[in-house]
């Protein structure tokens, strides 16, 4: 019985940091989406990783990329967080976004932990066929 209790305590001890990490990651994505909704691209740019900030250089360049390439994140209708997974040493948060026209999009957010907190290090649009899988 003592071994079962000890096992449960260890399992809970491992789960709590993972749940906190997931909550922090989802909060980062949500805050960027809120900035997009307000057309505050300077604030949204702050949630991008240092690599992406170097790549796009300015919030204005970032704005052009988002509005032209990712309209579903610029103006989402509904956002649902799905699983958080680890691939090739990176954490990926899967997100289902329903756009304003009712179309569903599946995206994977690659996350990077920095001294300032979690940052978005890239977004992949997945094949919509995966929505039914």
Answer whether residue 2 shows pLDDT above 50: yes
Condensed to tens digits (0 to 9), the pLDDT of residues 17-28 reads 456 689 999 999
- CATH code assigned at 95: 3.10.450.50
The span from the CA of 109 to the CA of 125, in Å, is 9
Question: How many H helices and E strands in the chain?
Answer: 5, 4
Contact 47, 120 (CB under 8 A): yes
Domain that holds residue 57: 2-132
Cα separation, 27 vs 133, in Å, equals: 26
Cβ neighbours, 10 Å, residue 85? 11
Q: What is the pLDDT of residue 49?
A: 98
130 φ/ψ angles, rounded to the nearest 5 degrees: -70, -15
User: How many domains, the chain?
Assistant: 1
Q: Express each pLDDT in 111-125 by its tens digit.
A: 999 999 999 999 999
pLDDT tens per residue across span 37-75: 999 999 999 999 999 999 999 999 999 999 999 999 999
Distance CA 129, CA 25 (A): 25
Q: What are the tokens at 76?
A: 């989402």
C-alpha angle with apex 76: 29 to 39, nearest 5 degrees?
75
- Residue 112 three-state SS: strand
Q: What angle do CA 45, 80, 120 make, to 5 degrees?
A: 25
Listed in sequence order, the residues at least 6 apart from 104 whose beta carbon sits closer than 8 Å to its beta carbon are: 96, 97, 98, 128, 131
């Amino acid at each position: 019985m003592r071994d079962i209790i000890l096992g449960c305590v260890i399992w809970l001890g491992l789960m709590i940091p993972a749940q906190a990490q997931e909550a922090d990651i989802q909060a980062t994505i949500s805050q960027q989406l809120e900035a997009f909704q307000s057309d505050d691209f300077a604030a949204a740019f702050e949630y991008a990783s240092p690599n992406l900030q170097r790549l796009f250089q300015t919030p204005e360049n970032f704005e052009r990329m988002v509005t032209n390439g990712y309209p579903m994140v610029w103006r989402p209708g509904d956002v649902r967080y799905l699983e958080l997974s680890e691939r090739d040493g990176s954490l990926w948060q899967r997100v289902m976004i329903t756009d304003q026209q009712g179309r569903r999009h599946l995206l994977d957010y690659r996350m990077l932990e920095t001294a300032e907190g979690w940052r978005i290090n890239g977004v992949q649009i997945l094949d919509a066929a995966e929505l039914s899988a």
